[in-house]
């Protein structure tokens, strides 16, 4: 019965196979069907610059910047004429936390980079300014040998029109390409002994603002670092160690075009300088170090004493307590006496930033004396400047002063912990750090205590504070003129004459 029932099924199955084979043979012999245009994969047309920047807001200046008004993406336009040129790069911390090594007003990188085109990419290349090769010497033809010129960033050109190239600026600024923001860990530190930043968050890091001018482009970025399980919570100023924001301003500056003449360093005079070694000399001292100084030019070159074409103007930030402003202005303008010896009249000006000002201290075109009152102040006073590394020309400066200078707050954490937050931050910024403000703050506190012990009058106490502030501002302003510490000045007057105001008030 089983065999009888399976026989018809076998016949049916064999018939199906024959039909399929016959159909396949017919298809094999049939002419192929031509593919239509709609069947081919479509190649998406590359968008033009005009199309990409349509939903953006333009910030025009040295480099045109476009920010998408819907998603925040920023594009940067490079002109052909801007290729193969050098620019000054400078950045500073607009805000942060001291224990993270980035605090308000701290100056950071100051270097030179160039922009190059490589096929469909734009490269940002850091230039080495530490060496000099005499162009008249044939060995200068090998000036690039064994000297590194790192490519900091290589960005794909997203659109090109004529002599303009559009880049996605997120890939340049929202990462640590131009500058290392997170400090490298101390290899000698015990795990968890000090506070460290977490991992840079791609989602949270964003552009805070863009300031653009004909000779410089400033980009302010909020870098956010996440650490889901921190082993060190930092201090109370950190708020929450799982997420820490560091606000950095990147400034790209056009190379100055003027009559500035570099001046070589004299080791007998204390100037901050740019170290440059002559690689084409046989001298035992192959130094071509140039000092940091401002570009002052006389209006009347033939006059013994002349006003400058462009004076050095200082602005007292509107954060400054009003009772301090007259003393600060007096200290700043006192430097005019020194510049008169150099042949300049009214070389220094001082203004107060109005509350209605349309600019803030982050604008590098303004030299600003600023104030903060930090929970863990890294200094009492701090007076850095930024320069053209090739010539030593000072381009701008700021002075940061901490309100702790006038209070009775002691840095007690340094007494109990050698790896304290402030100590770590100072180590990170040691190349630009002046510690006189800290020690002078302690001296001021001691002086206040002594005045109280001797029942000094309010007038005497007020005068003492003014003298302390006057000295601090005078000192930090001196740094912004390129002057280093003058240790010899401590011997200017004998111990018997140090309280003789007739002598000490003389410059």
Q: What's the predicted TM-score (pTM) here?
A: 0.85
Q: Which pLDDT belongs to residue 477?
A: 96
How far, in Å, CA of 32 to CA of 442, rounded? 93
Enter the DSSP assignment of 488.
G
**Rounded mean pLDDT of the chain?**
86
| Residue 191: band (very low, low, confident or very high) from pLDDT cuts 50, 70, 90 | confident
Mean pLDDT of 261-283: 94
86-95, 128-137, 181-190, 340-349: which has the minimum mean pLDDT?
Answer: 181-190
Length of the chain: 507
According to DSSP, the β-strands at 312-316 and 367-372 are parallel
Question: 292 or 23: which carries more pLDDT confidence?
Answer: 292
Q: What is the pLDDT of residue 435?
A: 66
Q: Band of the pLDDT at 409, cuts 50, 70, 90?
A: low
DSSP label at residue 82: G
The whole-number pLDDT of residue 430 equals: 37
- How many angstroms separate the CA atoms of 212 and 88, rounded? 15
pLDDT for position 406: 72
Phi, psi of 267 (to 5 degrees): -60, -15
Minimum mean pLDDT range among 27-31, 119-123, 432-436: 27-31
Whether 19 shows a pLDDT value over 50: the answer reads no
Share of the chain above pLDDT 70, in %: 84
Cα–Cα dist 238/418, whole Å: 19
Highest mean pLDDT among 36-45, 126-135, 432-441: 126-135
The answer to whether 479 touches 385, Cβ cutoff 8 Å, is yes
pLDDT, tens only, 449-465: 888 888 889 888 888 88
DSSP 354-402: -TT-S--TT-TTSEEEEEE--SS-S-SEE--EEE-TTT-BEEEEEEEEE
* pLDDT bucket at 208, cuts 50 / 70 / 90: very high
| Span 58-89, pLDDT tens digits | 999 999 999 999 999 999 999 999 999 999 99
* Enclosing H/E stretch for 4: helix 2-29
- Residue that wins the pLDDT comparison between 121 and 405: 121
Enter the DSSP assignment of 31.
Answer: P
Say if residue 269's pLDDT is above 80.
yes
């Amino acid at each position: 019965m089983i065999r009888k029932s399976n026989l018809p099924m076998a016949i049916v199955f064999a018939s199906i196979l024959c039909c399929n084979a016959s159909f396949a043979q017919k298809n094999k012999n049939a002419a192929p069907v031509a593919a239509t245009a709609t069947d081919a994969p479509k190649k998406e047309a590359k968008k033009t610059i005009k199309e990409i920047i349509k939903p953006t807001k333009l910030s025009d200046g040295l480099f045109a910047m476009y920010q998408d008004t819907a998603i925040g993406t920023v594009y940067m336009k490079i002109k052909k004429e801007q290729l193969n040129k050098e620019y000054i790069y400078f950045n500073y911390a607009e805000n942060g936390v001291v224990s993270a090594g980035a605090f308000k007003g701290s100056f950071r990188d100051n270097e030179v980079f160039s922009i190059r085109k490589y096929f469909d990419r734009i490269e940002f290349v850091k230039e080495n300014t530490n060496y000099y090769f005499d162009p008249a010497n044939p060995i200068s033809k090998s000036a690039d040998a064994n000297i590194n010129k790192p490519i900091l960033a290589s960005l794909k050109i997203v659109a090109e029109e004529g002599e303009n190239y559009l880049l996605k600026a997120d890939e340049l600024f929202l990462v640590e390409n131009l500058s290392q923001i997170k400090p490298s860990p101390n290899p000698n530190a015990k795990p968890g002994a000090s506070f460290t930043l977490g991992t840079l968050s791609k989602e949270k890091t964003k552009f805070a603002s863009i300031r653009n001018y004909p000779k410089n482009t400033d980009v302010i970025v909020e870098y956010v670092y996440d650490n889901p399980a921190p082993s060190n919570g930092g201090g109370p100023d950190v708020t929450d160690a799982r997420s820490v924001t560091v606000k950095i301003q990147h400034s790209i500056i056009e190379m100055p075009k003027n009559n500035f003449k570099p001046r070589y360093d004299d080791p007998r005079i204390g100037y901050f300088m740019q170290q440059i070694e002559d690689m084409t000399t046989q001298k035992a001292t192959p130094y071509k170090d140039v000092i940091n100084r401002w570009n002052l030019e006389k209006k009347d070159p033939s006059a013994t004493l002349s006003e400058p074409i462009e004076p050095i103007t200082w602005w007292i930030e509107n954060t400054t307590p009003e009772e301090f402003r007259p003393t600060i202005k007096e200290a700043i303008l006192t430097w005019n006496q020194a510049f008169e010896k150099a042949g300049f009249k009214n070389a220094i000006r001082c203004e107060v930033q109005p509350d209605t000002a349309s600019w803030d201290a982050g604008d590098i075109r303004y030299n600003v004396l600023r104030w903060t009152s930090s929970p863990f102040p890294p200094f009492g006073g701090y007076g850095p400047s930024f320069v053209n590394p090739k010539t030593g020309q000072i381009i701008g400066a700021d002075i940061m002063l901490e309100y702790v200078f006038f209070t009775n707050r002691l840095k007690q954490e340094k007494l109990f912990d050698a790896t304290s937050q402030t100590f770590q931050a100072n180590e990170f910024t040691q190349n630009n750090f002046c510690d006189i403000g800290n020690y002078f703050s302690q001296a001021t506190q001691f002086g206040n205590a002594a005045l109280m012990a001797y029942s000094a009058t309010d007038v005497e106490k007020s005068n003492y504070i003014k003298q302390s502030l006057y000295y601090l501002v005078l000192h930090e302003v001196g740094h912004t003129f390129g002057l280093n510490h003058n240790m010899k000045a401590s011997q200017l007057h004998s111990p018997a004459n140090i309280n003789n105001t007739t002598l000490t008030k003389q410059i």
